[in-house]
């Protein structure tokens, strides 16, 4: 069974990688390098499987034998947040010139807009998906079965457990999508991925530019502070946010 039209992707809740969109650079990198760079793929923060399932379909389409490891608690945000996840940290990021005034103004506008529908906006409720507790691993498994996506390995559980104690894990990583929002999550995931990332490999940093989650940028900057490689901004797609990634040097 093939998915061809945009309405099919929408009904199924799957990212349409066939048209221009926010993950365009990530999918294009995989298309161009899947047979050139060693390793499998990692997605940290699966939620409802929108991008994970899309990547599974794409790999089948291009005839790749790579496997995707999808990490998520499938239970929403953890009960305790790090202080770096407090949205007040955007004030510090601006004061330290780690974000632009334009970025900060958009954050403020987002708070204003969200205040129309929620009380006391915070990291717990600022996302349109709330605290991500509406994830359902059973539905993801049904979609995987429907499209025969035997190239996806789901890894349920808290990151503090799965990224340290899992028995089945990629020995090498070609590319990764980090969409796990929070400071502690990024602090846990980045070393795991970077240590396994092949030369020339790529990480898509979904929240490096965020109007909701300052902790992701703080954790990323901390991790790459002593490394030659640094996060870089992709060329802007008209009407879209900034999109950032980092790539491991070939030498």
Question: What residue has token string 């999508």?
Answer: 177
- Whole-angstrom distance, CA of residue 37 vs CA of residue 14: 26
In this model, does residue 53 exceed pLDDT 90? yes
Burial readout 200-210 (b: 16 or more C-beta within 10 A, e: otherwise): bbbbbbbbbbb
Domain membership flag for residue 55: yes
Q: Work out the pLDDT band at 237, boundaries 50, 70, 90.
A: confident
> Mean pLDDT for the chain?
94
pTM recorded for the entire structure: 0.95
Q: Work out the pLDDT band at 135, boundaries 50, 70, 90.
A: confident
In this model, does residue 82 exceed pLDDT 90? yes
Write down the pLDDT at residue 173.
97
Q: Work out the pLDDT band at 79, boundaries 50, 70, 90.
A: confident
Domain membership flag for residue 243: yes
Closest CA to 85 of 122, 111, 46: 122
- Whole-angstrom distance, CA of residue 163 vs CA of residue 169: 9
> Count of domains in the chain?
1
More confidently predicted of 164 and 15: 15
Domain membership flag for residue 108: no
Cβ atoms of 250 and 199 closer than 8 Å? yes
In this model, does residue 128 exceed pLDDT 80? no
Q: What is the mean pLDDT of residues 176-182?
A: 96
CATH number of residue 40's parent domain: 3.40.50.150
Domain membership flag for residue 221: yes
Q: What is the mean pLDDT of residues 113-133?
A: 86
Cβ atoms of 14 and 54 closer than 8 Å? yes
Write down the pLDDT at residue 1.
72
Write down the pLDDT at residue 250.
83
Lowest mean pLDDT: which of 130-134, 152-156, 202-206, 209-213?
A: 130-134
Domain membership flag for residue 119: no
Lowest mean pLDDT: which of 43-47, 75-79, 152-156, 172-176?
A: 75-79
DSSP label of 237: P
Domain membership flag for residue 120: no
Query: Secondary structure of 98-137 in the HEC alphabet?
Result: CCCHHHHHHHHHHHHHHCCCCCCCCCCCCCCCCCCCCCCH
Lowest mean pLDDT: which of 40-44, 89-93, 114-118, 223-227?
A: 114-118
pLDDT digits (tens, 9 = 90+) for 87-117: 999 999 999 999 999 999 999 999 999 999 9
Domain membership flag for residue 179: yes
Domain of 26, in residue numbers: 6-82+128-247
Domain membership flag for residue 95: no
């Amino acid at each position: 069974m093939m998915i061809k039209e945009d309405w099919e992707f929408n009904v199924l809740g799957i990212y349409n990688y066939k048209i221009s969109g926010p993950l365009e650079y990530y999918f294009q990198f995989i298309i161009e390098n899947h047979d050139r760079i060693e390793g499998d793929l990692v997605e940290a923060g699966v939620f409802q499987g929108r991008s994970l399932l899309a990547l599974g379909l794409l790999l089948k389409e291009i005839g790749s034998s790579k496997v995707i490891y999808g990490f998520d608690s499938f239970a929403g945000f953890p009960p305790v947040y790090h202080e770096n996840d407090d949205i007040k940290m955007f004030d510090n990021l601006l004061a330290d010139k780690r974000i632009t005034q334009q970025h900060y103004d958009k954050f403020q506008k987002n708070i204003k807009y969200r205040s129309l529908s929620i009380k006391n906006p915070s990291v717990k409720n600022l996302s349109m998906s709330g605290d991500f507790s509406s994830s359902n691993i059973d539905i993801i498994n049904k979609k995987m079965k429907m499209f025969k996506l035997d190239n996806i390995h789901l890894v349920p559980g808290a990151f503090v457990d799965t990224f340290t104690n899992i028995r089945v894990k990629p020995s090498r990583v070609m590319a990764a999508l980090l969409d796990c929002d929070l400071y502690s999550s990024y602090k846990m995931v980045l070393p795991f991925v970077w240590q396994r990332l092949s030369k020339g490999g790529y990480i898509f940093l979904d929240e490096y530019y965020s109007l909701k989650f300052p902790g992701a940028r703080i954790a990323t900057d901390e991790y790459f502070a002593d490394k030659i490689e640094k996060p870089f901004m992709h060329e802007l797609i008209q009407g879209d946010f900034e999109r950032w990634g980092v790539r491991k040097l070939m030498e």
